[in-house]
Amino acid sequence: MSFAESDDPVAISALQHYRYCPRQYALIHLEQEFLDNLHTQRGQLAHQRVDDPGEQWERGARMLRAMPLYSHRYGLVGKADLVELHPDGRLFPVEYKHGKHRGKRHDYIQLAAQALCLAEMTGRPVTAGAIYHTSTHRRQEVAIDGTLIADVVATLAAIREVLTSGALPPPVRDHRCDECSLKPLCQPGALNAAASWQASTLHAALFEPEEVSDGPCVSF
């Protein structure tokens, strides 16, 4: 996959937002809207340790914090919370998340996008990374395989369709809304109520007889 040179690059974080909820992605990245809640504040706290660029040695590996990333091939920009450079040449991106192990696909896609950027920037394959959970201080290793890369490519294509159309996706109105900080702006309940009212109004009028015109009947 390659993107047109005229296309703006997509933020790596946008992939995570889109896969969580397309409307959340559009509100943040198209409408430039954002609100904090408990979950976003916890996420910000989780990143404090890796937000400042820098490097150090730990456990025999070089650790690079807040490393800028890009991919010309995929049209991506962003940064990795942490990249480990091991003595054997392995590159290992680590994404910090608050809370305990979640096993969320949108987190894996964000990590895989970082791996694609690292591979292109260095010319080395990146076959694995990890999600570090700040509440448990444990990390979950994730294989960057063909299925996950295909998911990144599909998500990028879906995002570019939204960018081209400029249309705000409809609300999902499910369990995701309970944790979303943008719920007051999205108003999924109000929008669905309006759609339901419109549907019921149309249904009620469907079988009402139409007035018959007294005008001339025209035949051909």
- 3-7, 98-102, 153-157, range with greatest mean pLDDT: 153-157
The rounded mean pLDDT for the chain is 85
- Per the DSSP assignment, residues forming a β-bridge with 96 are 132
pLDDT at 210 over 90: no
How many secondary structure helices (H) and strands (E) does the chain include? 8, 7
Query: Which of 1-5, 86-90, 143-147, 160-164 shows the lowest per-residue confidence on average (mean pLDDT)?
Result: 1-5
Beta strands 76-85 and 54-58 are unpaired
What tokens were used for 40?
A: 């976003």
The mean pLDDT value for 61-82 works out to 96
Cα–Cα–Cα angle for 32, 36, 40, rounded to 5 degrees: 105
pLDDT at 220: 37
What is residue 214's predicted lDDT score, i.e. its pLDDT? Answer: 47
What is the pLDDT, as a whole number, of residue 59?
A: 86
Query: Is the model's pLDDT at 103 over the cut of 70?
Result: yes
Is the pLDDT higher at 100 or at 121? Answer: 121
pTM of the model: 0.81
197 vs 28, higher pLDDT: 28
pLDDT > 90 in the chain, percent: 58
Query: Per-residue confidence at 44, pLDDT binned at 50, 70, 90?
Result: confident
